[in-house]
Copies of this chain bind each other. A is one copy, B any other.
């Protein structure tokens, strides 16, 4: 994502207005590596600007995504995550704490399905699931049942 200042210019040049709400969201997103959900961003934003609406957060997030300044990640856990990092990268998701980490993968962009030569690839995404360093160190272990349940669709793990 571009810097708040650059985004400001960009917004104006598109006939969009630079409102305090948008400025706040830009700044909260800048250098944000936490892959926040709309809701979590709203939480932080509310602290600094009481009264800001969740609707506005969603709206601005969607606008940024449309402009290609944000990526949307959907890991099937609660809501959509927003990623201000738009360089080519991939994700490592901890199945225990749910944290998502940006990672780089050598050779990822040259991957090809070996049984779908007729598919015109425009984008390749790699997702690693496993344990992050902290959870591994903590010796975190869950019952296979719970683990399975989590891998499927836990709606509340990391909130």
Contacts and interface: CB of A to CB of B under 8 A. Distances in A.
A24 interface: no
A153 interface: yes
Interface string A116-135: 10111111111111111100
Interface in A37-70: 62, 65-66, 68
A9 to B, nearest CB: 20
Contacts of A120: 130-132, 136
A133 B105 contact: no
Number of copies of chain A assembled together: 2
Given A66-B145, A122-B129, 7 more contacts: A65-B152, A66-B148, A103-B116, A111-B111, A119-B131, A122-B131, A124-B129
Given A119-B130, A120-B136, A124-B127, A103 B113 contact: yes
- What does DSSP make chain A's interface, helix, strand, loop or mixed? mixed
Contact of A130 (B72, B76, B80, B123): B123
Given A152-B62, A153-B80, A74 B72 contact: no
A153 B113 contact: no
Contacts of A130: 119-123
A87 interface: no
A113 B131 contact: no
Interface in A93-113: 94-95, 101, 103-108, 111-113
Nearest to A133: B118
A19 interface: no
